[in-house]
Structure formats: structure tokens, C-alpha cells
Chains A and B, each alone.
Chain A
Amino acid sequence: MDILSSFFDHLAIGASEAFTLQNLWYCFVGVFLGTLVGVIPGLGSLITISLLLPLTYHLEPTGALIMLAGVYFGADYGGGTCSILLGVPGHPAAAVDVLDGYPMAKQGRGGIALFMKCIASFWGSTVGVVLLMMFAPMLAAAALNFGPPEYFGLMFLGLVAASTVGDGSPLKGLAMMIIGLLVSFIGTDVNSGTERFTFGFPDLSEGVGLIVVAMGVFAISEVMRSAGSPNVQPVNQKFSLRDQMPTREDWKRSFAPMLRGSGIGSFFGSLPGTGGGMATFLAYAVEKRVSKQPERFGKGAIEGIASPEACNNAGVGTAFIPTLTLGIPGDAIMALLLAGLVVQGIQPGPMVMSTNPELFWGLIVSFFIGNLMLLVLNIPLIGVWVRLLSIPYQWLFPGILLFTCIGVFSTHYNVFDLYLLLGFGAMGYIAWLLKLEVVPLILGLILGQPIEENFRRTMLIFKGDLSIFISRPISAVAIGVAVFLLIWSVKSQITRKHKL
């Protein structure tokens, strides 16, 4: 009861702030810009926000933050569009949409995929916002219970969940994950400062970024593949709004995945440092695992869009919890937003809700408004986007290559990243020829470093005592579930072989 009444109080404070003409305008500018840069492959919210940040020094803080946050979730919204239609992810977290969205587009169901993406995004972000409003302080306190052993346990569970998900040969999946892990070890070792596997290239000292790998194995390799089969007939697309509507069957299939996805996204979003690509790929892995027909995944299963999209957008909302209430940013974008606030003299922390209630609740209500705007903005646009498919591929791919290169370059202003991009493009192409899945590779890359880092940190702090992983409840549960999953998947492998 208490939670509900304070919920409505906060809603009222927030609404009065967010519904000013000025803030509505900032919100619109933010989400509009965000959608635009999100659609362009490789160009994400980080570069846009860092360019916009100095402008906001002259705005009043709430409006500034509303606009920047709008760019952030707008870009997440737009990110899936090219993933679905062209197989080219707008940003790493949207790479997961390629897996089932692109096959859907090839089957002439691109519009439906886009529609479901919009709905799932809206649903996910609504869940995130509601959680943020009702439980922000509690969730922030919960995040404090996650120390190195807990992070290790969770990441380990993620890795196991991911490794048991492949539909082809489990050995191939494992091999790809190990390649991903190996790539993640490139870079500076945090404990000693020594560079590993950099082969004397200083450009590798920060490791290989997710964006380079994701763009390489998805975007570049897709261009290579299409170039290898030049006579692709444009798929038969229908452009009227009615043809973009998901069928009853689609809705039925998507409902539960959206719920699960938003749950996974909210949880990981509120833990600093675990957001972005990891959660969406895990949501996908979970969906595939719980599905009764896992073989449909990767061939145009709408669940493969619904769950990760809901997950992504729920996480975007809850990522503001540690940022605003603890002052600890989960990723580079949150760090930028935080810096913008701090410069304006606003101190994030638990008291931000009492010292700057209009800012805090105004921002949160603006998330909701922004997502509504995105829905209204995007659904009519689906028909326009789908028309992209009627453009012959030979006209499209130079643009795809160009924008992908610009996007990757803009992350570090480093030409070396472009060589890496090409290398991972080739790798993705070879993997496709050999029928190897790239999802385990991406997950290995995302999880490898945090697993190692948190394991070694735990060992340093607890002086090499391995029993800490079992004596801490959260890590014990996570590791227990991981072990159970491992045994289960090995067992089902064996029984499946017996049946054959």
C-alpha cells in the first residue's frame, strides 16, 4: 500500500515536470535523434551523447538529462531496425535481432518483426520504468550485495547457459565460445598491468571491443555472403500497415518471452557493469532453452525478437537505478550522463530523490513519454523501413560498409579497429561456411573478461579461499544452477544419442 501511494505521489511530481512544453520538446528531440543514429549501423548513442553533452551545459538540468536519456533509449529502439531488415546490427546489443529478425525479413515477415520489436521494446521499457519508480532505492541497495564472488557466480552461470544453447553440434558451439573467450583475453591484464596476446600492437592493449566483433561477424560477413550470391531476388514484401501486423499466433508466441525478457533485462540493468549485449544474448539463450521447439530459433522465430528486445529496453530503464541512486555508472553511456549531471552541480546518490525530486521523477516520467513517442513514431515508419528491402542489394552494401566503418571508427578514432573489423568479418564469413554459430563466440567474448577478473579479484580479496563461492548464498545459488544445467545438458545429449 505504501509503495503504491508513494508511486502515485512520484508519478504526480514527475508528470508535472515532464509535461512542460519545453521538456516534451527535449524529449522528442532526444528520441528522434536517438532513433536516427540507432538505425545507422555502428553509430550508437555514445558518440551522439558525447557530442551533445557540451550543449547541455547551457540547458537547465532536467531538460538536458531528458534529452540525453532520450537519445540513449531512442538509439536502442532504432538499433534493431537494420538488424532485422539487412542483417546489420545498429549497435552490439541489437546484434541479437539479426538471429531471427533477418530470417523473418527474408521470409517476407520483416514488417511483423519490426512491429513486434516496437511492442516488445515498449513493454520492456514500461516494465523498467515502473520498477524504477517503485523499487529504485531497494534495487540500489540490492546491487550493493553483489561483490566479486557474486559477479563471478552470475557470469559463470551465463557462460554455462550460453554454452548449452546451440542447436547444432554442442562441440562446435563450445569451440566458438572458447574462441570468444580467447579473444576476450587479449589486452591488459588488470592484476599485473601486463599486456597479453597483443603481439606488440599497442592498439590491442584495451582488448578487442564488442562493437568491432559484433559489426564484423554480423554486418561485414553479411555483405561478404551477399556478394557471394549476387542474384538474390528481392523478397516479396507487402507494404500496407495491415500486412505488418503480427498474427494471433505471433502474439501468442511472444507474450511469455516478453515477460521473461523484461525480467532478465531489469535484473541485469540494475547491476552496474553487466548491461548491454550480455543481457540480450542471455535472454535469447534462455528463450531457446525453455522453448519446446528450439530448432525454430535462428530461422525466424518471433520469440527471438520479443524476448531480447523487451530485455534490452527494460535494462535501459533499470540501468538508471545504480547511476542515479548510487552515483555509479554501469557503462560508458551512463558515465557520460552522470558526468553531465555532476557538472551541473547535481549530486547523484540516494539523496537525489529527496534533493532533486523534480529531476529524478521528471526524468523517469519522461522515459515513459519518450517510449510512447517512439511507439507512435516507429509504427507508421515500419512501412517506410520495409521498403529498404526493395532496394537492390548492390545499391545498399556500399552504404552499409561505409556506415559500419564510420561507426566503428567513431568509438576510438582508431584506424586499427577497421582492420580488426575486416578480420572479424572474414571470421564471421568462414564461420558461416563451416556452419558454426556466432552467438557463443559473442557471449564468450562478453563474459570471458569479467569472469576472469572477478574470479581473480575474489582470490586476491579472500586470500585464495575457494570455499567463498559456496559460503556466499548468491554465488552458491548461481554456481549450483550452472552445475545443474551442465549435468542436465550432458544427460540430455546422451539420451538423445541413445534415441538416435
Chain B
Amino acid sequence: MFNTFKKALAAGLVAAIALISHVALAEDFPSKPLRIIVPFNPGGGVDTVARIIADNLRENLGAEIIVENKPGGSGMIGANAVVKAAPDGYTVLLGSAGEAAINEFVYKKIQYSPTEDLAPITLVARIPNVMVLSPKVPANTMEEFVAYAKENPGMTYGTSGIGNSQHLNGALLAGMSGLDMVQIPYKGASKQLVDVASGDVDMTFVSYTAARGFITDGKVKALAITAAERAQFDKNIPAIAEYAPLSNYQLENWFGMFAPAGTPADIVDKLNGAIVAALNNDELATKLQNMGGQPAPMTVAEFTAFLATERAQFAEIVKKAGISVE
């Protein structure tokens, strides 16, 4: 009897200590500098958003924030570095749709499972792509475009590489409207826009920031945006979905924050709180909108559900279009 009591007491004590130390862990967090891994080069969209957020998180978390660029392998090198990092919340990933939800269906050699190896923290921003046409393409609405593309098979669209959100934008459009279009891969948006403006390439799907100069100058035609609804940054550009036969069309790029799987839930929550608070800051929201992004704070549960829906859609498009990299 006494023995059992002693055992129970000991067990209780252990549990209590564990609980205290656990609570202490989250309360002390962060007690050292935190690294945000950006899996792309400095100056890109993800990098810029990371640096804006880092600036804000410094105050919200009271810790030094280091933005580290680990580019390569369509974002997978940086993502894999986070997967392998200690799950203590001090290393997080600001990832884009590619390495967090698309590449797993495209790349046979992917070295991690985004669902099992990454713990979602929150969505950060949605970045709708703008479908821009060369001035040489005689179409000014989605309807005219689809009709023209049907008569002229083999129209070309620029992308930033295989399996990129731009590539899926094209594949989804071609699939839904029954068009025959050819992808022209590039490394980044700049030269795509030059080639679309000159008419060498017929169209491209790029972020609004990249295309804004070309659109306002009339060098390219902004036909539609790839989000479900018109975007804050330019209400004059219709959504592709406004054209009735494509009313289900929605495919945006997005950036989300992830921790390595196994990071304690209370630390994930704390990070979520700090990042959501940053995203609700008006000044930061303006900066995001300046670069064509829509701030998109979510709870951990919302973000997890969002990821599941997005993955299902990406998987379907990739499968239908037969996009695959050995």
C-alpha cells in the first residue's frame, strides 16, 4: 500500500517536474537568436517578406532574428535544412507553395515529406499571379483569349521553372479550357517580362510587383489575376474566375512559416502568435501589399487545413498535366 503510494508520489513528482520544465521551455522561448531560413536568393519575394517580418518579430519576440538564405533545388535545399534542424523553434522556414506543397508531387527525388517533416505555423501572405499578355496577342478579355488560343495552338507562356506555381497556373488554364500551350522555363521573372513585351513569348503569369512597371507603361496587357477574387493592389484587373467557364479557377502562390516536425506545440503557438501579431500590424501589411502580397494570418489549425486543400489541388493539376522531374 505504502509502496504504491510512494510510486504514485514519485510518478506525480516526475510529471510535475516535466510539466514545469515544459512550461518553462515555452516561457523562456526565445532565449537565443532565431533563424528564419529562406530557401531562395536574397532580393526575391520570399527573402523580402522574411526580412520585413524579421524586423517586426524582433520586437514581438524580444529576440535577435537572423534571415539566412539557403537557395537551391527549387527551394528544397533550404526546406531540407529546416527539416534536419533541432525541433526547438529556433530554426524556422519561410517557404513558398513550391517546396511546401507542390514539389512533393513533381520531384521524384525529394528528400523530405512536407506533411510529415514540417510543422505548419501560419500562412504569411498570398501572392496572386497576374496573367499578362504580349501586346501582339489580339485579346483583351479571358473569353477572347480562350477563343484565340483555341484557334492558335502552341501559344507560349513563360514560367520560373518546372513545377513552379506559374507553371501550374498555365497547366491548370490549359487543362480547364482544353488549350494546347507550350511552357518556356526561365530563371526568374525579369527576362520573361522582357520577352513577353517584345512578343517573343505570348504570355506569362508573374507576381504583380514584378510586372507592375510593364503593365502601367502599357508594354504588356494585364489580362486577369489568378486569385478567386480581384486583389487589393489593383481592382481594375479581373479575376480569371470571373469568366464563367473558368469560375473554379484559383491558384495563387503563397508563403508560409514552418518549424521542423516535433517542435513542441506551445512553442509553435508562441511563434504563431508573434507572427500573426506582426501580420496584423498596419505598417507591415502596407509593406506586404506594396510588393503584391496579401497578408494572411491564420491559426495553426486553419493553416493545417489550408495546406491539405492546397496539396489536393496541386496534386491533381500535376497529375493531369503529367508534370514530373526525375
**Interaction A to B:** yes
Instruction: List residues of A whose CB falls within 8 A of some B CB.
Output: 46, 49-50, 53-54, 57, 143-148, 188, 190-195, 202-203, 205-206, 272-273, 322, 325-330, 332-339, 342-345, 347-351, 412-414, 453, 457, 460-461, 463
Q: A326 and B161 in contact (CB under 8 A), knowing A145-B198, A190-B185?
A: no
Give complex CA distance A345, B283 in Å: 11
17 A/B residue pairs, CB under 8 Å, sorted by A? A54-B52, A145-B198, A147-B200, A192-B162, A203-B77, A272-B190, A327-B209, A328-B213, A329-B190, A330-B190, A332-B42, A333-B43, A334-B43, A335-B42, A347-B213, A350-B216, A412-B72
When the two chains form the complex, which single residue of A147, A193, A327, A332 contacts B161, counting CB atoms closer than 8 Å? A193
Q: Which 7 residue pairs spanning A and B have beta carbons closest together? A: A349-B213, A335-B43, A193-B162, A327-B213, A328-B190, A206-B72, A336-B43
> Does chain A have a CB within 8 A of B242?
no
A193 cross-chain contacts in B, Cβ below 8 A: 74, 106-107, 161-163, 185, 325
* A54 and B51 within 8 A (CB): yes
Shortest CB-to-CB span from B229 to chain A, Å, is 23
8 A Cβ contacts from B274-326 to A:
286-287, 290-291, 325-326
* A190 and B43 within 8 A (CB): no
> Does chain A have a CB within 8 A of B54?
yes
Give complex CA distance A412, B212 in Å: 30
* A342 and B290 within 8 A (CB): yes
Chain B contact residues (Cβ within 8 angstroms of A): what range? 35 or more
Give complex CA distance A206, B72 in Å: 5
Give complex CA distance A147, B79 in Å: 34
Give complex CA distance A143, B195 in Å: 10
Q: A147 and B198 in contact (CB under 8 A), knowing A202-B72, A273-B191, A326-B213?
A: yes
* B291 and A326 within 8 A (CB): no
Shortest CB-to-CB span from B50 to chain A, Å, is 10
Shortest CB-to-CB span from B214 to chain A, Å, is 7
Shortest CB-to-CB span from A91 to chain B, Å, is 15
Q: A344 and B290 in contact (CB under 8 A), knowing A192-B162, A335-B41?
A: yes
* B194 and A328 within 8 A (CB): yes
* A147 and B73 within 8 A (CB): no
B219 and chain A: residue at smallest CB distance: A144
Q: A343 and B217 in contact (CB under 8 A), knowing A54-B55, A190-B185?
A: no
* A273 and B70 within 8 A (CB): no
> Does chain A have a CB within 8 A of B111?
yes
A206 cross-chain contacts in B, Cβ below 8 A: 71-73, 77
When the two chains form the complex, which single residue of A343, A412, A453 contacts B287, counting CB atoms closer than 8 Å? A343
Shortest CB-to-CB span from A137 to chain B, Å, is 11
B186 cross-chain contacts in A, Cβ below 8 A: 190, 457
* A339 and B73 within 8 A (CB): no
Give complex CA distance A344, B55 in Å: 14
B115 cross-chain contacts in A, Cβ below 8 A: none
Shortest CB-to-CB span from B207 to chain A, Å, is 11
> Does chain A have a CB within 8 A of B235?
no
Given contacts A190-B185, A329-B43, A342-B290, 20 further A-B contacts (CB under 8 A): A50-B51, A50-B67, A57-B52, A193-B74, A193-B162, A193-B185, A202-B76, A206-B71, A326-B193, A327-B209, A328-B193, A335-B41, A336-B43, A337-B43, A345-B287, A348-B213, A350-B216, A453-B187, A457-B184, A460-B182
B43 cross-chain contacts in A, Cβ below 8 A: 50, 329, 332-339
* B42 and A203 within 8 A (CB): no
Give complex CA distance A486, B51 in Å: 49
8 A Cβ contacts from B148-200 to A:
154, 156, 161-163, 182, 184-187, 189-191, 193-195, 197-198, 200
Give complex CA distance A463, B111 in Å: 35
* A332 and B41 within 8 A (CB): yes
Shortest CB-to-CB span from B43 to chain A, Å, is 3
Give complex CA distance A342, B290 in Å: 6
Q: A343 and B184 in contact (CB under 8 A), knowing A328-B190, A329-B43, A413-B69?
A: no
B217 and chain A: residue at smallest CB distance: A350
B219 cross-chain contacts in A, Cβ below 8 A: 144
Shortest CB-to-CB span from B172 to chain A, Å, is 18
Shortest CB-to-CB span from B153 to chain A, Å, is 12
When the two chains form the complex, which single residue of B51, B198, B213 contacts A53, counting CB atoms closer than 8 Å? B51
B58 and chain A: residue at smallest CB distance: A54
B161 cross-chain contacts in A, Cβ below 8 A: 190, 193
Q: A205 and B48 in contact (CB under 8 A), knowing A46-B42, A194-B325, A461-B184?
A: no
Shortest CB-to-CB span from A460 to chain B, Å, is 5
> Does chain A have a CB within 8 A of B117?
no
Shortest CB-to-CB span from A404 to chain B, Å, is 20
* B71 and A50 within 8 A (CB): no
* A205 and B72 within 8 A (CB): yes
* A50 and B42 within 8 A (CB): yes
Shortest CB-to-CB span from A195 to chain B, Å, is 8
